Amino acid sequence: MSPDAPRAEPIRMRTLIILRWVAIAGQLATVVVAWSIGLRFAIWPVLLLIGISALINSRLQARASSRVNYDRAAGQLGFDLLQMSLLIWLTGGPSNPFALLVLAPVTIAATSLPKRQTAMVGLATILLISIAFRFALPLRHSDGLQLAVPPLLALGHWMAILIGVVFLAVYTHRVVAELSVTSQALFSTQMALAREQRLQHLGGVVAATAHELGTPLATIKLIAGELNDELADRPDLAGDLAELRRSTDRCGAILRAMGQAGKDDLLLHSAPLRVVLEEAVGIHGQRGHQVFITALGPDIRRDPGVIHGLRNLIQNAVDFAAAEVHVDAVELDGHLSITISDDGPGYPPALLARLGDPYPTPRRSPNSRPGYEGMGLGLFIAKTLLERSGAVLEFANEGPGASVTVIWPTARILADTRRPLGANPSQDGLDIKPLTKS
C-alpha cells in the first residue's frame, strides 16, 4: 500500500457535522466577544453566514450516520472554507487574528481524504484567503478608529497562512498515510498468526475425531470378518463383503494419518529451543549464507508470534550479512536470551536509537543495497510481536556487524512440561479396543 493510497474507510458525515457545530459555536462566541469590546464590522452579514451554516448543518443531521464519498467530503469542507473566508473578508482580513482558523479544513482533508481531494482543498484555501485579504472590509472600533495592520505585517500574515496550508497538507497527509501502511501490515500479520492458531486447534479436533471413530470402525471390521466366515457358502455376497473390508481398511488408514497429524500439532504447542530456532530460520538458512545455531535452553512455548518475530530478525541479518549469521540462545539468571548477529556493515549509528520504530529511515535507494527497498517495517513488526510475548529487544553494533538480543523472563517463554500429554497412542495410531463375540 503506497503512501498515497486512499483510506480504507471514507469519513463519516457525523464527524463533519460535529466539527461544523463546533466551528459555528466558536464563530458566535467570537462575534459576541468582539462586539462587546467595541469592535465594529458588518454584523448582519456575519450573522447571516453563520445562520446559513447552521441551517445546512441541521438539514444534514438526518444523514449523520451515513458515510460520504471523498468528493462529497471535499465539497463539505469546501463549503466550510468558503464560509470562513467570507467571514474573514467581512471582519478585517489580515487584521483579524482568527484568520489562521482557515487552516482547519485543509488539515481535516489531509487527515481523511486522498491526495487529489486534499490538493483541491489546499488550492481553494490559498485562492480564497488571498481574495479575502486583498479586498477585506475594514475593522473599526466603536469610537471610529480604523484597525489596520501595516502592509508589511499583512503580507507576512498572508504568507504565514499560505506556508501553513502547504506544510499541514503535506506533513499531515504523509504521516497519516504511513500510519495506515503500518496498521495494514500489523493487521495482515495478526490475520496470518490467527490462521495458524486455528489450524493448530483444528489439529486437536482431528486427533479427537480419529480417537472417537477408532472403536466403531474396529467393530465394523470385526463384524465384516465374522460375516465373511459365516457366509462362506454365499459366493454372491463375497464381492460385497470384500469391498466392505477394503473400505474399512481405507478408513483406518485415513484416520491413522489424521490422528498422527493432529497429535503432532498438539505436541508442538511446545518444542525444544533449538527446534523453534530452526523453524524460525526456515528458508533463510538456504540463501547462500551460513546460519549457525547454538541453543542451550529448555523446551519453550511454540508461539506463532515468537517464531514470526524471530524469523523477521533472522531475515534482516541474512539480508545484510557478508557470509555468516549466528543465532545463540542461552538461559541464565532467570532469563532466556537469543542473540542474532551477522558479519555485515552493522546498523547506522544515527538510527540505533530508532530501530524497531516504523519508518526509521526513508526508502533506501538501490545503490545502498541492490534489490532492497526496506523501510524498517519488518523490524517494527518483529519487535511488536516479540514484546507482546514479554520480550525486550536490544540492538547493537558488535565487532564487524550488527546484533539484536531478545530477552524473556523464563516464566513468560518456558513450556509447561508438567502438563499431561494424554493417553499414549496404540501401535497403529488408532485406539482400537479388541472385541470378542459373547
For residue range 378-424, list pLDDT tens digits in order: 787 788 888 888 899 999 888 778 999 999 998 888 877 555 555 54
Give the DSSP letter of residue 392: E
Averaged pLDDT, 224-241? 79
315-329 in b/e burial notation, b at 16+ Cβ within 10 A? bbbbbbbeebbbbbb
DSSP string, 315-374: HHHHHH-SSEEEEEEEEETTEEEEEEEESSS---GGGGGGTTSS-SSPPPPTTTSTT---
Q: What pLDDT is recorded for position 266?
A: 47
Residue carrying the nine cell digits 482431528: 206
Q: H or E stretch including 402?
A: strand 401-409
Q: Give which of 112, 24, 17 is closest to 60, Cα–Cα.
A: 17
CATH number of 271-366+373-413: 3.30.565.10
The per-residue pLDDT for range 36-73, each reduced to its tens digit, is: 998 898 899 999 999 999 999 998 887 777 778 888 88
Instruction: Give the N- to C-terminal CA distance of the chain in Å, as an integer.
Output: 70
Q: Where are the domains of the chain?
A: 13-149, 271-366+373-413
**Could you read off the pLDDT of 101-158 as tens digits, one per residue?**
899 999 888 888 888 888 999 999 999 999 999 998 988 888 888 888 888 988 998 9
How many Å apart are CA 165 and CA 125, to the nearest integer? 8
The SS3 assignment for 416 reads coil
Do 39 and 96 contact (CB within 8 A), yes or no?
no
